Amino acid sequence: MRGDDIGQFNKYIKNWSKNSKNLKNNKEYQYEYNSKKEYIESIKNQLGDFDKKLTTKIKKDIDVIIYNSKNTDGLIAATIVCHYLLTEGKRSLDNINFIRTGEGDVNRIITSLKNMYFDKKLNIIILDLDIKEYFYKEIQNIVNNVIVIDEHGHKELDNPLAFTTKGMHSTCALTWYAFYPKKEIPLIVASIDVSDSKKYANFLSFTNFIAVFITYRYTSSPYAKKKFDDKSIYLELWDVISDDSSYGLSIIAGAYMDEVQENIKEQIAQNSVRKKFQGYNVAVLNYSDPVLTKRVGRQMIDNWKSRNNPVDFAVLWGYEHNKDLYRVQLIDDHHQTRVNMGDLARKLGNMGGSNKGGGGHPHVGNFYWKKDIFQLFK
């Protein structure tokens, strides 16, 4: 195909996908939201009066956006805040600072903040990160103002600008209405929300394909590194998520990506073995990557369940040469409540001799381990 032929093909697909009649969800979901109005009201109810506490001045004064860069929810929330600062705050991209991190890596936040040289104390926002109270207080001591938006439901922080209430919605949806309370949430942002929470809405189609598309195109793409470095990623992603006419095209792209992902995931998960891990029955695999690990872990759990030999959760580990440490991830089926993955990762991270600790949320935990990895399996 010549370049002009590809352009015509893409134009045809984009125009076709704008027609919602061409996009019917082929899965039967139990819908949590039967209308867009019901969905939006649910977000606003969860937020309560938090958007009113975030005055225009407080929002415009943000110097640093700190977010969970390991998942799409955090990246989209950061993009929303960035756009607000560019348009409403009249800021340039050069004057907006980002700290990209993940669960259990709070020390990096503190180190990065201390290394930022300003003639004033910083105003920061923390998005989609479970910040424990003792870390939060350390952060609070070195900055002026801290805004927190996170849906993981950890202990409430002593700060009226910290929203940490667990509910039906993810950080990106809550961030949208905290910063744009009078604007309707874009379809892609809503899709990431319901895909993350598994609370489906009947006005959204193929939300899992949207999540796959954003993940592979932006969140975890090795080709996006330069765009993160020069910050252009936030401009490009805003153009995608704010344009509802690109919704159908994103679904189509995500569908192709999802088929490849499912095929690879199935093949990798077949290699897991069943072991004892800290007294639990687990599926274990020596495997780690920035994109597929959670999906592989849940496939491992499904595989053992289908063999009538169920496990409590999955353990995936890999040796990181640049850190001289093992990285261990704990992943459950997103339904069990007997074992809190984040709490277990935090406990083992403190025992592991890495000085990096661990963390996560009830269904996913991450920690580093410096000792013999096989000490964990008993």
pLDDT at 1: 44
pTM: 0.79
Using 50, 70 and 90 to split pLDDT, how confident is the model at 125? very high
State the pLDDT at residue 167.
76
Q: How high is the mean pLDDT of the chain?
A: 87
Would you say residue 160 has pLDDT above 80?
no
Mean pLDDT for 101-126 is 79
Please indicate whether residue 140 or residue 55 has the higher confidence score (pLDDT): 55
DSSP 8-state symbol, 49? T
What percent of the residues of the chain are helix, what percent strand, and what percent coil, each to the nearest 5?
Answer: 50, 15, 35
Per-residue model confidence (pLDDT) at position 27: 53
Report which of 50, 51, 56, 117 is spatially closest to residue 90, judged by C-alpha positions: 56
Q: According to the model, what pLDDT value does residue 93 have? A: 95
Predicted local confidence at residue 3, as pLDDT:
46
> For the domain 23-257, what is the CATH code?
3.90.1640
Q: DSSP for 267-301?
A: HHHTT-EEEEETTEEEEEE----TTTHHHHHHHHH
Query: How deeply is 47 buried, as exposed, middle or buried, from its count of CB atoms within 10 A (0-12, 13-18, 19+)?
Result: buried
Q: pLDDT (tens digit, 9 = 90+) per residue, 324-359?
A: 999 999 999 988 889 999 899 989 988 888 777 787
Question: What pLDDT score does 369 carry?
Answer: 94
Mean pLDDT of 128-136: 77
Are the C-beta atoms of 340 and 348 separated by less than 8 Å? no
**Are domains 23-257 and 270-376 of this chain identical in fold?**
no
Domain coordinates of the chain in residue numbers?
Answer: 23-257, 270-376
Residue 354, pLDDT score: 75
Whether 9 has a pLDDT exceeding 60, the answer reads no
Cα angle 282, 166, 77 (rounded to 5 degrees) comes to 95
- Kindly indicate the confidence band of residue 89, based on its pLDDT and cuts at 50, 70 and 90: very high
Predicted confidence (pLDDT) per residue in 220-233, tens digit: 888 888 999 999 99
Domain boundaries 270-376, CATH class:
alpha beta
